[in-house]
Amino acid sequence: MPGQIVGYARVSSTSQNLARQLEALGAVDELFTDHQSGKSRADRAGLADALRYVRRGDTLRVASMDRLARSLIDLEQIVSDLTARKVSVEFVKERLTFTPDAAADPFATFQRQLIGAVAELERSLIRERQREGIDLAKARGVYKGRARRLTDEQIAHVRQAAAAGANKAKLATDLGVSRRLIYDVIAGNGAYAAKPPTPCLPPSYGDESPLPFTETPDPSEPV
């Protein structure tokens, strides 16, 4: 009996759309999704469920390698673990399928590592360009930082709930954000740092009127 086709799709935030990935995956028997950054596998409940679900003879189908893993080490670990369990891994964009029979094929391993390394290098270059752009924007005084994903009301709710002992993971799930963002909100890091108080400026009396504490000179006195 042929195994199931199990699909997995991931976007980095709740504001992003899975439609393109779902179209690339096509018809699948089961589908698992995440709305989380791929930096940490621990935060991706959908991936964890997919890895638990697949059985011998199944195929895990993913739109592209970077949707499954964000580092070469993570990619190697996931693919190696799955093929060792007799589960195939298919990447639609790269048109590659890694089967249990090919697990010991050195060329297949080299191919996977090469593509994964190129993808990781590309992400590193993108991050470097972003840092350079931020530095230039800061030098010009126009950098505003990353926009907040939570409203002031949500920020207040998170801090109050955390102070009362609420579970951080549940707060993240309820708001559709990562646990790291929840910790940033609680600690006041980055975009969630306390806003500096607005400086209190003296009232303006106009250019023509003397300030109340300025003494008007006597015209009869020599300058």
State the catalytic residues.
12
How many whole angstroms separate alpha carbon 23 and alpha carbon 42? 26
In angstroms, how far is the first alpha carbon of the chain from the final one?
A: 106
User: How many residues appear in the chain?
Assistant: 223
User: Which of 184, 178, 183 lies closest to 38 in space, CA to CA?
Assistant: 178
User: Is 88 in contact with 58 (CB distance < 8 Å)?
Assistant: yes
Tokens 């102070």 belong to which residue? 163
User: Which of 114, 117, 87, 115 lies closest to 103 in space, CA to CA?
Assistant: 87
The sheet with strand 96-98 has its strands ordered as 30-35, 5-11, 59-62, 88-91, 96-98
